Amino acid sequence: MTYCVGIRLNAGLVFLSDSRTNAGLDAISTFRKMIVYEKPGDRFMTLLSAGNLSISQSVREILQVEKLANGSDEPITIWNAKSMFDAVRVLGSAVRRIHEQDGAALQASGIDFNCSMIFGGQIKGEGMRLFLVYSAGNFIEATRETCFFQVGESKYGKPILDRVLTPTTPLDEAAKCALVSMDSTLKSNLSVGLPLDLLVYEEGSLQSERIVCIDDQNPYFQMIHNTWGQRLREVFEGIDDPQWNNGQAADHPLVGSESRFEPMRKITRPEDRVI
């Protein structure tokens, strides 16, 4: 399994992916889930992938040569697309092409055609865009209301993203949030693992040097892991324990004065028990 997150902010984009794959408890491997397509000064695109590794690797390879008819002499590719919308259409076409080639054979072997991808970036002349691409090749786009996408084991890391991220979040703060999200996932799910790939893209730059591979020796990620766990415990201990209706005043009583229906209870008297 895997966990990937892509974030679209006013200031730029943040991408983070793990590198663990598994086909059972004794078949765990490391494969990178992030790939960057870059032509400095013209376009910058990043692809994160989750799901069946053979499918996602095939899609990544064919994406660079996939073409869409354009009604002109020059077909659309990711390298000449005029917009990110056209570029993600090329990606969707690549997914469908792999499905046409391998879908029936996979199904005959009892394997679902399973892949999901996060694709985002910027092409000169338009704003940044971020997309979530499904196994059918269709896609949705991030908005101000939903400024991030996740693929893979998303549930463990989602709460921190929901509580922290807004379109105005600074890039470095969003990168920190993504790493906390990843740390929460690593803590709760063994199918996600180091090393991690982190990329931060600044709006309008059409290139990025802020790319890093994070392993278990990375001092910043070690600090995140230790500090996040410690601060969570401190916050938890700082919240009042439940105060029952025991006649004492409480700031946040668990049982109020208003009437409420209680759950049904069956009480067995000792003399009614069957031995």
Q: How many domains is the chain built from?
A: 1
Over its C-alpha atoms, the chain yields an Rg (Å, rounded) of 24
DSSP-assigned beta bridge partners for residue 49: 117
Separation CA 252–CA 254 (nearest Å): 6
pLDDT value, residue 81: 97
**Buried residues in 170-188 as b, exposed as e (16+ CB within 10 A):** ebeebbbbbbbbbbbbbee
CATH of the domain at 22: 3.60.20.10
The answer to whether residue 13 sits within a structural domain is yes
pLDDT value, residue 244: 79
The answer to whether residue 93 sits within a structural domain is yes
pLDDT value, residue 268: 75
Helix 84-108 and helix 53-63, axial crossing angle in degrees, nearest 10? 140
pLDDT value, residue 25: 64
The answer to whether residue 197 sits within a structural domain is yes
Residue 253, judged by CB atoms within 10 A of its CB (0-12, 13-18, 19+), counts as middle
The answer to whether residue 256 sits within a structural domain is no
Does the pTM of the predicted model rise above 0.85?
yes
Q: Could you tell me the two tokens for 38?
A: 């870059």
The answer to whether residue 58 sits within a structural domain is yes
The answer to whether residue 268 sits within a structural domain is no
pLDDT of the chain, 275 residues: tens digit per residue: 799 999 999 999 999 999 998 766 677 899 999 999 999 999 999 999 999 999 999 999 999 999 999 887 899 999 999 999 999 999 999 999 999 999 999 999 999 999 999 999 999 999 999 999 999 999 999 999 999 999 999 999 999 999 999 999 999 999 999 999 999 999 999 899 999 999 999 999 999 999 999 999 999 999 999 999 999 999 999 998 888 766 567 788 887 766 567 777 777 776 766 66
Phi, psi of 268 (to 5 degrees): -100, 125
Domain around 205: 3-234
Q: How many CB atoms lie within 10 A of CB 43?
A: 22
The answer to whether residue 74 sits within a structural domain is yes
The answer to whether residue 254 sits within a structural domain is no
pLDDT value, residue 259: 57
Closest CA relative to residue 177, chosen from 204, 151, 158: 158
